[in-house]
Structure 1
Amino acid sequence: MRRYTISINGSDHEVDVEEVTANTFRVAIAGQNVDVRLRDHQDLAQAMITPEMEVADNIPLPTPPRPETVPVPTAPTAAPTARPRAAAPAGGGAASGVNTLTAPMPGVVLTVSAQPGQSVKRGDPLLVLEAMKMKNELKATRDGVIAQVPAEVGAQVGFGDPLVVFE
């Protein structure tokens, strides 16, 4: 069960959400229980959610070190072994907008089932991204034809990196 505190028109409410099945939830708000069935959802990877932070006046915030005070290493260090990153789409610039499925979080591409020229329907699986030891199946956000698949199996991707480009 998860408990959320939400603010509606300046009034705070506690909401308890319990997953009964994969698409059925029991929601409790203000002492009333409501069974909710999920009929559809959209992954809004492009949406940026920024939490608000309240800071008391008497608590000092830490200040980041100034660049000139950061110690500079004097001896060369071995470069860490890195996994390959997903290549940017051809055409010079990074793809963006509704024609591109981007990484919703940093991770490693485990499988890629999308191929250029393939027709897909909204909800069709395109690839699996492993993040924090969890496998996340990323699905087509719309109907269309795949133009490019910059993501490669084994590639380390960052938040917002292009994974699949639609025509």
Structure 2
Amino acid sequence: MPETTPYASAKEALDAKIRRVPDFPEEGVLFEDLTPVLADGPALHTVIEEMARACEELGADLIGGLDARGFLLGSAVAYDMGLGILAIRKKGKLPPPVITQEYTTEYSTAALEIPANGVDIRGKKIVLVDDVLATGGTLVAATDLIEQAGGTVAGYVVVLEVQGLGGREKLGDVPLVVLG
């Protein structure tokens, strides 16, 4: 673990390391690529520490990481906190039985799944961790999965938010923490 970090905050690390790609995946969209953040030890460390603090403040019993970048971030956050991680997978990646929830993204429709047995989340407070909040479809679908399985979503922690797509409004009254 680094003894010191050149970043005073996650926002500073993100501003220094995010790669901005215009017109991707389609014209008019500015894609913010977190790959350089993930590849830089001090930047990643700073982001994970802030995410873990936010999850702790939200009272997490378990971290829910959304396929796929939420796995990377959520696993590191869970490890830092000494908690487990619930991998919330894209449809077809888990053996049956599963609980499935379909949703709409800004570009398509998709589905998420969690195991229907083998992981008991009844009564647990779960904080969902992901890289980006855009339309909110993925986080809403993950929330529905958690609730169907008897858990409670205590909050959402994301690195970035794409403004103007209405994602924040879809999340209702559940607390949302955005680092960048």
* TM norm. shorter chain > 0.5: no
TM-score (norm 2): 0.21
- Structure with higher strand content: 1
TM-score (norm 1): 0.22
- Structure with higher helix content: 2
Rg (Cα) greater in structure: 1
